[in-house]
Amino acid sequence: MVVYITHLLYHRLLSSFIDFLRRMFPKPHCYDLILHSKIGMNMQTKHKKKKARKHDSELKCRRWKGELEEIRKEQNSIREGQSKVGEKLEAMEIECEALHEESKLMIERSALTHIRFAVMLNILTVRKNGDYAKAAHFTQLLRYIEIKETGDECYLSSVQCGGGDYDSLVSRLCLHKTGVTSVLS
């Protein structure tokens, strides 16, 4: 009978269950017997399990928050690294463009130097053969190439080119570096 009443009260009035037992059974030993019966143990274990679940969920939340914070820090460091790599790539591209322009300028200067040496060689061979008209023509061409290289346009306009089309000749010389003597002859 007592077990049945406690069972009904356990399922309907959880908060007043222990007060009911104390009023029903004023002696401590009777209260202890009923409290430690199967229904009483279930109530205690449910409370312990609920408390343990709450504690576990709090621990999980703390662990997840810590993991999220670590992930956030890693993502920030990755972003910083990516921005640094991007800046380095931009600097490398600028440096590459500058080197490309510099190498292009060096190639042009090398070609003009090669042409000048070829014209000087032609001047010497023509003078050796005694053809001073061609030597004067090659000398004028050499002056024109040097003026073109230095960029002195004022002097270039005052020089008499002798009616020759030196721009086309210089461009043909640049195209035919190997056959310079045949182009000039």
pLDDT digits (tens, 9 = 90+) for 139-178: 999 888 888 777 755 444 444 444 455 556 555 555 444 4
Per-residue pLDDT of 69-110, as tens digits, reads 999 999 999 999 999 999 999 999 999 999 999 999 999 888
Q: Name the residue with higher pLDDT: 18 or 142.
A: 142
Give the ranges where the chain is alpha helix by DSSP (H): 2-12, 17-24, 28-35, 38-129, 132-150, 153-158, 166-175, 180-184
- Residues 37 and 86: their CA atoms lie apart, in Å, by 72
Mutual angle of helices 132-150 and 38-129, in 10-degree steps:
150
Q: Sign of the CA dihedral 77, 80, 82, 84? A: negative
So what's the pLDDT on residue 161? Answer: 45
Confidence band for 117, pLDDT divided at 50, 70 and 90: very high
* Residue pair 85/92 in contact by the 8 Å Cβ criterion: no
Comparing 49-63, 117-131, 135-149, the range with the smallest average pLDDT is 49-63
3-state secondary structure of 49: helix
Q: For residue 182, what are the contacts with CB-CB under 8 A and spacing of at least 6?
A: 176
The number of beta carbons lying within 10 Å of the beta carbon of residue 115 is 23
Q: Name the residue with higher pLDDT: 53 or 7.
A: 53
- Residues 3 and 36: their CA atoms lie apart, in Å, by 11
pLDDT for residue 26 is more than 80 = no
- Residues 114 and 107: their CA atoms lie apart, in Å, by 10
Structure tokens at 17: 């269950």
What letter does residue 164 receive in the DSSP assignment?
A: -
- Quote the pTM value: 0.43
